[in-house]
A and B are shown apart, each in its own frame.
Chain A
Amino acid sequence: QITLEESGPTLVKPTQTLTLTCTFSGFSLNTRGLALAWVRQPPRKALEWLALIYWNDDKRYTPSLKSRLSITKDTSKNQVVLTMTNMDPVDTAKYFCAHTQFDMSTGHFMDVWGQGTTVTVSS
């Protein structure tokens, strides 16, 4: 059974750096064809795809936030870490990590999600 759990601060101040950790079980991120993605959702708004890291450590970021985001993995700990610099109140959102499968014929799809962690940016 695949499970994912996001953790990190619930409150950060403007200009600070946010560090979120996704701890997972039930799969290995060394497995070809797997990736882990981060998605966020501001209150009462739509989902926004942020970043993804593949089994081979290849990484992808949404262009609008690329200069502020970093995604890394520690396969020995079964964790993926997302950092976002220079936080602003508009970054207030629930942040989700998701197990992602990839295949040339199906593309990427996020088939198991964590419950999400709420981050508020306020002074």
Chain B
Amino acid sequence: IQMTQSPSSLSASAGDRVTITCRASQNINRFLNWYQQRPGEPPKLLIFAASTLQRGVPSRFSGSGSGTDFSLTINSLQPEDFATYYCQQSYSFPCNFGQGTKLEIK
């Protein structure tokens, strides 16, 4: 299953609302995870099962979608949110990731 994210990069300002999309090459139900990775750090789980917020993740992060189309929305961007975001499907092996979306400060 191929995962395609868009856009590949995105410029935004603190306080903005942004949405990143992820498309699966076939139906993956709701088996979709989102991770955030800051430079030099390991990925951090934000959302699993398409829309379930991981414990400790701020509520400005939200996920939606099912089937083949998914999105990650970040409300009111904070400075620490500028990072790279990856989607990952867990419907079948291998649990492939998308190519990443780099969120940069405008």
Interface residues of A (CB under 8 A from B): 37, 39, 46-49, 52, 60-63, 96, 98, 105-111, 113-116
Are B52 and A62 in contact (CB-based, < 8 A)?
A: no
Q: In the assembled complex, which residues on chain A have CB atoms less than 8 Å from the CB atom of B88?
A: 47, 49
- Dominant secondary structure of chain A at its interface with chain B: strand
- Give the chain B neighbours of A114 by CB distance below 8 A: 42
Size category of the B interface is 20 to 34
Pairwise interchain contact A107-B44, C-beta atoms closer than 8 A: no
Chain A residue nearest in CB terms to B86: A47
Does any Cβ of A come within 8 Å of B13's Cβ?
Answer: no
Contact B95 A106 (CB under 8 A): no
**Cβ contact within 8 Å between A113 and B44:** yes
- Evaluate whether A115 and B42 lie within 8 angstroms (CB atoms) in the complex, with A49-B94, A49-B95, A63-B94 already known: yes
**In the bound complex, do residue B42 and residue A107 qualify as a contact, i.e. CB atoms below 8 Å apart?**
no
